[in-house]
Amino acid sequence: MLHALLPAVALALLLAAVFLKQPRAMSYFGINLLLNLAIPVMFATLAQMMILAVSDLDLSIGPFVSLVACIGATLMPEQPVLAVLALIAAVGVYALAGAVIQARQLPSIVVTLGLSFVWLGCAVLLLPTPGGTAPEWLRSAMSWRTPLLPMPIWMAIATAIVGHLLITRSAFGTLVRGLGGNPGAIARAGWNMVRVRAGVYAIAGVFGVCSGLMLVGQATSADANIASRYTLVAIAAAILGGAEFAGGKVAPVGAVIGALTVTLAASFLTFLNIAPDWQVGMQGLILVAVLALRAAIDLFGGKR
């Protein structure tokens, strides 16, 4: 139980530290400002979590989100049908990558690293310089003042429920976890492993599309490198939330909390007047501290 609660405890401690440092942040507007940037990170983290669930690693999610943002800022306002077709094609390429990885037994790191250059090149072709504009409906949706709680909280609840139902309460989720933990059993049961892995990558692509569209809705414009840091941030958030690199062990609710924690850590470091050049390193130290605590809990709890 301590292992499962660790992401929530880390988030609560960070929130307490932020509120002590900046009491005015303890309000609807303050919480919305602190966690608003976590919304696209949540979906990028869920995308990475899907890949981790089959014991793979995706090094292309950041450039993919950037490409989606560029499509949203260039094609979607004037040519929405073409934009939708481009997004469907991008998800299809993601699924094809998963199928190739399974069929040819290729390392996912190598394939997704190569794919990241493809996404980056397409984004640069679409938007060579920062610019573009998000569709009005997307800007309005991302600036909507939700009732009772700020939008990031509602979005976190919704994404956590969707991820939980998909991974732990669906037949497909059972196949995904089986493919990551015991692929031999899935093959002996007669399932087409190429199709299953392709489906996993397709769902990851859908989450990536959601991330990119929400990001461009917040930023109102785009850039070919607007989400380049999301690759490492998504990995950190998923691992912080309880995922492991092998064995098909993932935690959708923990992944969402991890995304909130990583985003909030950046805000907290800003309140401490730490230079942006040092913030990435400090975020890494926070992650290492949490993971060390998790390892200590596993050790003293007798996990093997």
Q: What was the pLDDT predicted at 2?
A: 61
Which domain, by its residues, includes 257?
32-296
The β-bridge partners of 131 are 222
User: Is residue 279 in some structural domain?
Assistant: yes
Q: How many domains does the chain have?
A: 1
Q: What is the crossing angle of helices 193-219 and 61-78, to 10°?
A: 60
Give the per-residue pLDDT at 74: 93
**Strand, helix or coil for residue 37:** coil
Tell me, yes or no, whether 23 lies in a domain: no
In a domain, 207, yes or no: yes
Mean pLDDT, each 10-residue run in order, the chain (304 residues): 72 85 84 89 94 92 95 92 95 95 92 94 92 91 90 94 91 89 86 92 96 93 90 88 79 90 81 70 72 71 53
pLDDT confidence of residue 304: 47
What gap in Å lies between CA 101 and CA 95, rounded to an integer?
A: 10
Instruction: Name the token pair of 150.
Output: 């700020």
CATH number of the domain enclosing 133: 1.10.3470
State residue 245's pLDDT score. Answer: 77
Q: Do 135 and 76 meet the contact criterion of CB atoms below 8 Å apart?
A: yes
Q: How far, in Å, CA of 179 to CA of 194, rounded? A: 10
Q: CB under 8 Å, gap of 24 or more: what pairs does 153-157 form?
A: 153/31, 153/35, 155/39, 155/42, 156/35, 156/38, 156/42, 156/256, 156/257, 156/259, 156/260
